[in-house]
Structure 1
Amino acid sequence: MKGERFCIIGKYQFKTPFFLASGTWGLGDTLLNYLNPGEIRSAVGALITKGLSLEPMEGNPPPRLFETPCGLINSIGLENPGLKVFLKKYYPQLKALQTPIIFNLHGKSLEEFFEMAEILSEIEAEGIELNISCPNVKEGGIAFSQKPDVVFELVKGVRERFKGLLIVKLSPVGPVFEVAKACEEALSDALTVANTYPALGVYSYEPFQVIKGGLSGPAIKPLTLRLVFELSKIVKIPLIASGGILSGKDAFEYFLCGARAFQIGTANLIDPKAPIKICQEFKELVEKYGGLPDKNPT
């Protein structure tokens, strides 16, 4: 299809511009219960793993998910088995799908990120997506994403240790534009725009109880669409849209605003077959309308 040229990120080419977003398809052990290998290879450009840390993490106590109007609050708490266990137990099965695997990583310190990058370099992993919305313990719990200089140091250090595809997943809050520029200067290949938005839901009146987490789904699409639009004028590296993509129309609008690939997240939880439908709808829109306008609106 004409849209194939939009699947190039740096020196890397993908069969489709649609990636399965981190944390929305488990660890991969049940993926084939919903999508067969042929469907994955035809509709999914890359699989982005659940967020992985150097050591196992238990995550938050329930409730962990809370539905809101047009959205979902996620409070999983970064639960995962750790990178080494994932590589041993889950990675071989995923690798057999012959679809690029991008490792989403989060760490408590620069050193943890660097150690994971070295491990993935040794196995010649295809790609890394850095989650910079996690606290930097050495900086007193401040998220990496709030300090452009620390982000630059992080991305630069990972780039020195890992030569594959390097993506940074931006936080939608804080000094977003400054952080994006820091990532570009540190030689990130692309930016994911963006992580979930801080949110809160009340799930009990007596006793009064709340859930704090990240908001995803259609509710955040207009906010993230604007971020993509503005960032496309600030950085030259490719943008990967993530936020409320439930249809090919959603993806096409992100494309018109400057995105070159798309992550399907909450839609996977609604319908595991969503990537197939979204990919087909997007293809039809690209064939109907073609590429970007000659001039973007301001």
Structure 2
Amino acid sequence: MKELDLTVQIGKLKLKNPIMPASGAFGHEMESLFDFNQLGAVVPKSITKYPRGGNATPRVCEVNAGMINSIGIQSKGLPYYLQHTIPAYASYTTPLIASISADSIDEYAEMAEVIGNTEGVSGIELNISCPNLKGDGKAFGMDADISYKLVEKVKGVTDVPVIAKLTPNVTSIQEIARACEDAGADGLNVANTILAMAIDIHTRKPKIGNVLGGISGPAIKPIIVRLIYQVRQVCSIPIIGCGGVMNAEDAIEMILAGATAVQVGTASFINPLAMIEIIDGIKDYMNEYNVNHVTELIGAVDNSSLSAECSI
């Protein structure tokens, strides 16, 4: 069997393969199940500066072809993250991408300066899909100007690659993506969960304590593939596809749409070995179609046969 090259690049960060966990769907306790060195990167749950208790329960409910969650970024705070979480991954060669969430642009920059200059951290993912508490509850990633200012400020305090995690709950994700790229982002995560709601028809109460939550899982994959494709048309920096990847075929579809790497979330709750199986499945695909380097597949969707009437 020929030797395959699965390496991809996000800024100056080189990954041995394009597969990594989605923040919030992965923890160090999974080390007993598989070797983290097999992953392209590890992305622990988003961290906040101060401890947070999270949202009211119930926080998760199952729906057709997916799940809704509203965890509320439960966090033990920055000092714990620095003293315990980062050192826990020190023995692995796989790079750690720290996902951070904050209540203001200045707080994002403050956290990024500390975490981005901490040994053992190879990149920062900005969770700009969380509410901007100084902007009437509007998520940072819903406003192009705010997104630009946030990314620009963070880029000014750290040299590690910075990835902006975009929200799909906007009219034009391309506008936000361009703003982040113009501000110096090294990559874009497309995308966070889609706002959703479920109701128990017997109690007539919402199934989520916070009423609204984010839906993830296979139900949203076609939407995310579309968003990746649209962002790829207007941005040149790497895209990390995130949302609904359950198997290697899903991951390859996102790569063909324009993703450089892919995050896996809900699938790991169903099958903790999903990421490893996806990596193996990508290798099988590359062998079957005589692909030597996975980068040959990035944005390689063939839409030449589509008529003008079908384009959007």
Asked if these proteins are the same fold (TM beyond 0.5), I'd say yes
Matches within 5 A, 1:1-298: 1-5=3-7, 7-26=8-27, 28=28, 30-35=29-34, 39-42=35-38, 44-124=39-119, 125-174=121-170, 175-203=172-200, 205-206=202-203, 208-211=205-208, 212-289=212-289, 290=291, 291-292=296-297, 293=300, 296-297=303-304
Q: 1:110 to 1:282 in 2, by over 3 A?
A: same
Give the unaligned 5+ runs of structure 1: none
Give the Å deviation of 1:146.
1.4
- For the 8 Å contact 1:204–1:210, the answer to whether it is kept is no
Give the Å deviation of 1:294.
8.4
SS across alignment from 1:13? strand
Letter of the aligned partner of 2:196 in structure 1?
A
Q: 1:200 to 1:82 in 2, by over 3 A?
A: same
Letter of the aligned partner of 1:216 in structure 2?
S
Shifted more, 277-286 versus 207-216: the winner is 207-216
SS across alignment from 2:156? helix
Letter of the aligned partner of 1:206 in structure 2?
T
TM-score relative to the length of structure 2 = 0.89
After superposition, the C-alpha distances for 1:190-236 in whole angstroms (9 at most, x for unaligned) are: 10110000011113632533422100000000000001111111100
After superposition, the C-alpha distances for 1:90-140 in whole angstroms (9 at most, x for unaligned) are: 221112222111111111111110110111133142110001111111222
* 2: CA distance, partners of 1:60 / 1:52: 15
- For the 8 Å contact 1:3–1:283, the answer to whether it is kept is no
SS across alignment from 2:134? helix
SS across alignment from 1:58? coil
SS across alignment from 1:104? strand
* 2: CA distance, partners of 1:178 / 1:17: 25
* 2: CA distance, partners of 1:82 / 1:296: 47
- For the 8 Å contact 2:41–2:94, the answer to whether it is kept is yes
TM-score relative to the length of structure 1 = 0.93
* 2: CA distance, partners of 1:294 / 1:120: 37
After superposition, the C-alpha distances for 1:20-79 in whole angstroms (9 at most, x for unaligned) are: 1100013x2x122322xxx3212x110111011110110012111100111010111110
- For the 8 Å contact 1:70–1:217, the answer to whether it is kept is yes
SS across alignment from 1:188? coil
Q: 1:294 to 1:220 in 2, by over 3 A?
A: closer
- For the 8 Å contact 2:101–2:126, the answer to whether it is kept is yes
Identity of aligned residues (%): 38
* 2: CA distance, partners of 1:80 / 1:126: 21
Figure out how many residues of one structure are paired with residues of the other and give that number. 291
* 1: CA distance, partners of 2:191 / 2:204: 34
Please give the root-mean-square deviation of Cα atoms over the aligned residues, in Å. 1.6
Stretches of 4+ moved more than 4 A in 1?
A: 293-298
* 2: CA distance, partners of 1:172 / 1:92: 33
- For the 8 Å contact 2:194–2:214, the answer to whether it is kept is yes
